[in-house]
Structure 1
Amino acid sequence: MSDVPMNSAAVAAPGAAAPRWLGVALPLALLIALAVFPPIASAMGLDFYIGFVRRVLVVALAAASLNFIMGFGGMVALGHAGFMGVGAYAVVVLSDAGVGSAWGMWAAAMGVAALAALVIGAVSLRTKGVYFIMITLAFAQMLYYVFVSLRSYGGDDGYTLMARPALGGGLNSADESTLYWVVLALVAVVLWWMDRATKSRFGVALAGIRDNETRMRALGYPVYALQLTAFVLAGAIAGLAGALLATGNGFVSPSMMHWTQSATLIVMVVIGGLGRRWGGPLGAAVWLVLEEVLKLNTHYWHMPLGLLLIATALYAPQGLAAWGGLRGLRQLREGSKP
């Protein structure tokens, strides 16, 4: 695999890389902090934030799946929220059909979203650049209008689940803390798997295609097959995120797959760091937390978030997850150009 071209921008500058142990210690400390959050929040009378943090975790998973194809694979898809919607409506359809198992619903949601990604990716990946962006947008809008037209599932008004799917094994899905811990475990496992995938031979080849597709073809790599595989995997994970949102919220609306939601996911990835290990989750967490805080204090919350995106582009172009972002902030304080 030594012939695979690597993007030098994705490699930290000498002396800027974190110690190897830090890459394990920080995620583990964060996982422990998130695990103990529900009882602490309940003791402080902040039960609302258990559901909020659960939502952040799910959206972080969706953003990470987009970063998997956009940051590591170079595929800028402006329709990723469509797969979240497909996963969410899979829960709706199965619930309406009498299926009560959450695990069965979530697995089915991943399967249906993967199938949708396979069909959409098979067509979209035959185009490049802005044409790829626009065709993924077109497919997502097609999905949006399909579900708007499904009056039996609420149409544009959305659909309310009668009850949360059962977790089984003595776990009570109606309990906010229990569902929170299940979601946390799923998100942690999937994020760990994606991190391993990006470091595998498959991930390295995918990064090579991002950097120099022509050279990878010349080396004999099945470019189309590798890109389609990544696209399908990302779609399946986004479908799981949509199913988890539907389970937690108890409500699904076509608006969750509108193109603006896909654009928001892209913004989250850009803020967090394209092609960075924690770019998607960090960007999602920063965006949602700031959105929540700003909504409580002002009606003009879009402007500060827009300024955040501009500041990221100017002073931390590699994202907040990059050590370069810290250098950019120092340059901003010193008044120098990055």
Structure 2
Amino acid sequence: MSPRILPFIMVLAAMAMVPLVSTSPFYVNLTSQVAIAAIGALGLNVLVGHAGLNSLGFAVFPGLTAYLVAWLSTVGGFDPVPAALLAIGGTLAASMLFALVALRTTGLGFVMITMALCQIVWGAAYRWTSVTGGDNGLSGVPRPGGAVLPLERPEWFLWLCLCVLALALLQLGRFFDSPLGVALRGTRDQPRRMSAVGYDVWRIRFVAWMLAAGWGAAAGLLYAWYHQFVSPHMMAVTASAEVLLMVVAGGAGTLAGPLIGAALVVLLKNLASIWIDRWMMLLGVTFVVIVLLMPDGIVPGLGRLTAWLRRFRPAPAPALVPRERTDG
């Protein structure tokens, strides 16, 4: 077992044990929210941390999937599992079309185009009342259930979310270490040089875009099953900015950063709001402190802090080598 995998296994195991140590479904549901947010943040991290494409329209992927599965399940009459497969397929098909527009530029232009796409889809969800329910959204989204996999129970749904999260960590970890992942980081750092040596920069970025869309769609599917309700709010620009904050706060380009950022945001939203009325101010102050003290995020900042502390560790005493006796 690789030492790098062990911390993730320990964290996932601790999250899976929450239903066994807590009698309140509140903490079980809270852990499910953290897992769903972490899946979405891992997807956005492919674009932000490894492709160098900062997006303010990521909420399109989970939002579109959530609306598709909600409409297919409640209006179309499909069973939850076929509706989920069709919803993810529809989101990936739409993402291909979005990529033709968004990947024509980088930098600030990419940010503006993704935000515009997000606003277009949000506007359609808000105004197309006959299909999306408008501001009232779509409710009553069914979860898959049954004697074998009773997902209507909070603990079983949490374990499903953790299985998807573990799959995301495994797949993205292997992708980032693969030659394609290395080439993706090359397009981030030196796109002209990568193009000059024969790499198709657009296609590499397209793969990253579709990978982000796929995990965003998985997060949107779990979101719809968790809340059993979908509204245009989940496709607003503020929702995209929230996921971006998770990635940046935890550490873009790292595998653990999105998990830590997602846990931080979800816990502050759900726990701090119980005790503090102006919890949004606390959330803002927290991120300001993170940016000031750890500009690259929590995970890289802790790594630098650990390396700095190791400099003050006393050096081991040199081993005493016995001298050889010489006669005469």
Give the alignment's TM-score, normalised by structure 1. Answer: 0.86
CA spacing shift, 1:255–1:265, aligned 2, 3 Å: same
What residue in structure 1 maps to residue 8 of structure 2? 27
What residue in structure 2 maps to residue 156 of structure 1? 135
What residue in structure 1 maps to residue 206 of structure 2? 228
CA spacing shift, 1:263–1:196, aligned 2, 3 Å: same
Structure 1 residue runs of 5 or longer lacking an equivalent are: 1-19, 332-338
Choose from 36, 42, 55 the match for 1:58.
Answer: 36
CA spacing shift, 1:326–1:106, aligned 2, 3 Å: farther
In structure 2, distance between residues paired with 1:55 and 1:323: 25
Deviation of the 1:168 alpha carbon: 5.3
What CA deviation, in whole Å up to 9, does each residue of 1:86-123 have, x standing for no partner? Answer: 01011112102111233x33322322221222111111
1:260-279 to 2 correspondence within 5 Å? 260-279=238-257
| RMSD of aligned residue pairs (Cα, Å) | 1.9
In structure 2, distance between residues paired with 1:238 and 1:316: 27
What residue in structure 2 maps to residue 207 of structure 1? 185
In structure 1, distance between residues paired with 2:170 and 2:289: 30
1:88-167 to 2 correspondence within 5 Å? 88-95=66-73, 96-102=75-81, 104-152=82-130, 153-161=132-140, 164-167=142-145
Choose from 41, 64, 75 the match for 1:86.
Answer: 64
CA contact (8 A) 1:115 1:232 kept: no
List, as ranges, runs of 4+ consecutive aligned residues in structure 1 with deviation greater than 4 Å: 323-326
What CA deviation, in whole Å up to 9, does each residue of 1:144-180 have, x standing for no partner? Answer: 011112223311111102x523245721121111111
What CA deviation, in whole Å up to 9, does each residue of 1:187-241 have, x standing for no partner? Answer: 2112210111111111100000001101100111010011011101211210111
Structure 2 residue runs of 5 or longer lacking an equivalent are: 310-328
Instruction: State the AA in 2 paired with 1:112.
Output: G
Instruction: State the AA in 1 paired with 2:192.
Output: T
What residue in structure 1 maps to residue 161 of structure 2? 183
Choose from 19, 25, 30 the match for 1:38.
Answer: 19
Instruction: State the AA in 2 paired with 1:27.
Output: F
Identity %: 32
Deviation of the 1:21 alpha carbon: 4.7
What residue in structure 2 maps to residue 299 of structure 1? 277
Q: Secondary structure of 1:23's partner?
A: coil
Q: Secondary structure of 2:172's partner?
A: helix
Report which stretch shifted further, 219-228 or 298-307. Answer: 298-307
In structure 2, distance between residues paired with 1:174 and 1:49: 16
CA contact (8 A) 1:316 1:326 kept: no
What residue in structure 2 maps to residue 15 of structure 1? none
Give the alignment's TM-score, normalised by structure 2. Answer: 0.89
CA contact (8 A) 2:257 2:298 kept: yes
Query: Is 1:244 equivalent to 2:218 in the alignment?
Result: no
